[in-house]
Chain A
Amino acid sequence: MAEFSWDVRSPLDRALAVGRYGGHGDAGVALTEIRNFDLIQVMARRGKAAEMAKAAEGRFGVAAPETPKVVQTADATLIWSGPDQFLVRSKGDKHGMAALAPLLAGSASLSDQSHARVLVSVSGAKARTMLAKLSSIDLHPGVFAVGAAAATSMDHTSVTLWRGNDRADGQAVFNVLVFATFAESLWHTMQDSAAEYGVAIGHSEEF
C-alpha cells in the first residue's frame, strides 16, 4: 500500500522565477508571492451582523472591518471583502475553519478559501505607477492609506487589494489577493507591467 505525499504547490510555482526581470538598474518594483496561509471567508447571516461582530471581536480582540479596511492583529489579518463579510488570513491553523467555526457558527457562514487565492505583495518606488496599469482605483497615498482595502478588479480579474504596513524603507506595500486559477495569468501581466522599471521577484512564507 502506497503512502502519499501531499506536497502543496503554489499556482505560481512554475511562473515565478526568483531574481531580476526587465529593466536594469535599481528595481523599481518588488513582486513577492506570500505562500502558505489560511484564509477563511466569514459572512454574517441575515440580521446577525452585530452578533457576528461581537463574536469576532471576542476572538480577535479587535473589531472586524465593516468598511473597506484591513485590521491587523498579532496573528491575523482581517480583510474586508464585501458587505457583512471579511476574510481572516492567518497561519498554522491559528484561525482556520476548525478554530473559527464553533465561535461563529450561529452568526456567520464560513467558507475555506485557503487554496482559492494567491497573495502577491507589490512594493517599490514604482509600485503605484505599475499598479495604475492594472487597477482603476486611486492609490494616491492620501486616498488609499495604510489599512485601506478594496474588493476590485485588476485587468478584468477580481482581486482583493489592501495596503499593508509600509516597508522599512518607507515604501508602500500593496497586497493583491487573486483567485488561484487566474494567478499565473495575472502574474505574467504584473511582471510585464513592471518590466520597464526593473523587477525584483521573490516569494516568502512570512506572515
Chain B
Amino acid sequence: MRIVCPFCGERELGEFTYLGDAKPVRPTADAGEDAVHDYVYLRDNVAGVMSENWYHGGGCRAWLKVTRNTLTHEIAAVEPAAGAGAAKVGA
C-alpha cells in the first residue's frame, strides 16, 4: 500500500502507523461513561470505504485522515488532520 501524504507525496506503507476509524469523535468532558465507552470500544468495522487515522511517523509526523476501502485497499483521498499544518489556520 502506498499513501499520498499531502505534505510529502506518495510514500511507502512502512513510513506510516495505523490507528483506526477516524469517524468517532472524542466525547466532551461531560458526556458520561456510556458515550466514552462507545467511543473507545465500539466500531463500525466498515467493509468498504472508511475514514481512518494514519500517522506519517516515518516521515513528516503529520496525522492524516485517509479514505480507504477495506475490501480492496484502494485509497480515495488523504487529508491532513485538523491540527496538521495548523500554522496556516486563518491564513
Q: Which residues of A contact B (CB under 8 A)?
A: 43-50, 52, 68, 81-84, 136-137, 150-153, 156, 158
Contact = CB atoms under 8 A, between A and B. Distances in A.
Chain A, interface SS category:
mixed
A150 B11 CA distance: 10
Given A49-B88, A151-B61, 16 more contacts: A44-B87, A45-B87, A47-B91, A68-B8, A68-B9, A82-B7, A83-B7, A83-B84, A83-B87, A150-B8, A151-B8, A151-B60, A152-B11, A156-B58, A158-B58, A158-B59
Chain B, interface SS category:
loop
Interface string B1-33: 000000111011011000000000000000000
Interface residues of B, number: 22
B8 A47 contact: no
A84 B85 contact: yes
Interface in B35-76: 57-62
Nearest to A138: B10
A46 to B, nearest CB: 5
Contacts of A151: 8, 59-61
B23 to A, nearest CB: 23
Interface of B: 7-9, 11-12, 14-15, 57-62, 80, 84-91
Contacts of B60: 81-83, 151
Contacts, number: 64
A205 to B, nearest CB: 29
Contacts of B9: 68
B87 A47 contact: yes
19 contacts: A46-B89, A47-B87, A47-B88, A47-B89, A47-B91, A68-B7, A68-B8, A81-B60, A82-B60, A83-B60, A83-B84, A83-B85, A84-B87, A151-B8, A151-B59, A151-B60, A152-B58, A152-B59, A153-B14
